[in-house]
Every structure is written in structure tokens, then in C-alpha cells.
Amino acid sequence: MLTEACGKDPNEDDISAVTQVDECRDKCNIEERDRCLEKHKDNEEQKRKCYNDALDRCAVRCGDDAECLLKCLQLHIPPEP
């Protein structure tokens, strides 16, 4: 998966490095979701799975951080048909 290319978790005291890794992982997750959506563009059930998988990946990264989880929901909820 592309998020592995973003590196390991930096020391949490290094805010700049944490922000950089988080942004990289978010970008990779969105790219992975978009590739999945393109691959399954004619299958609504699979497209929902693409969004759900991206949401799950994002939520795992967030842990218990409510603000991060809210961002995940905003980024990875499928649009209304």
C-alpha cells in the first residue's frame, strides 16, 4: 500500500514531521480510494466498498482522536446518488 511509502510514525514531539506523515498518508489513502472507484465505476456496491475501505484505513490511523475521525468522515463518505 502507498501509505508505507510515507514512513514510520515520527516522534510525536516533532509536530512538523507528524503533520507531514499524516498528510502523506491522507493523500495516499485518497489516491487508493480513487483508483478503486475508477476500477469499479460501473458497480455501485463495489464503489461503496471503496469508500468504506478508505474510511476504515483513515479511522485506524486516527485512533481515538475525534477531530481526526471527523476529517475521515468528511473525506470518505460517498456522495449522495
Domain boundaries, the chain: 2-76
pLDDT band for position 72 (50/70/90)? Answer: very high
Within the chain, strands assigned E span none
CB 17 within 8 A of CB 10: yes
Residue 44: exposed, middle, or buried by beta-carbon count in 10 A (0-12, 13-18, 19+)? exposed
Q: CA 46 to CA 29: how far, in whole Å? A: 17
pTM of structure: 0.84
pLDDT band for position 1 (50/70/90)? Answer: low
pLDDT band for position 54 (50/70/90)? Answer: very high
